[in-house]
Amino acid sequence: MQRKKYNISVEATLEVLGGKWKCVILCHLTHGKKRTSELKRLMPNITQKMLTQQLRELEKDGVIDRIVYNQVPPKVEYELSEYGHSLESILTALCTWGDNHITRVYGDKSSVLEESILNE
């Protein structure tokens, strides 16, 4: 198997975190374990197929853990892995930059941000 080559390190980061939804999922998981249905409710514009795909990719990359409870009906939760917790400062920096950007472009954050625990 041939090793992948990157031009700069940020490419490796974007390979794991790239896309519209992965950082959003990770931000929600910084607040604790979530079931798929909870994540779907927190992100109403994501399709079930996309959510499932993104969760699988994040799990494959070792950023989140999938916890399966042996019960009926089946219960599955997702949480940040130990490795995933190393992304918290990056996610916080992205949120801070986004807050500043929204304020700069729109003025009032409340006019463009949905109500969410992440926006408090």
Whether the pLDDT of residue 118 is over 90: the answer is no
Above 60 in pLDDT, residue 89?
A: yes
Give the pLDDT score at 1: 63
Domains and CATH numbers, the chain: 9-106 (1.10.10.10)
Q: pLDDT tens-digit profile of 65-84? A: 999 999 888 899 999 999 99
Residue 62 has pLDDT above 80, yes or no: yes
The DSSP 8-state label assigned to residue 120 in this structure reads -
Q: Which residues pair with 66 in a beta bridge?
A: 78
Indicate if the pLDDT at residue 117 is higher than 70. Answer: no
In 3D space, the residue among 54, 53, 60 whose CA is nearest the CA of residue 28 turns out to be 54
> Using CA atoms, how far apart are residues 82 and 84, in angstroms rounded to an integer?
5
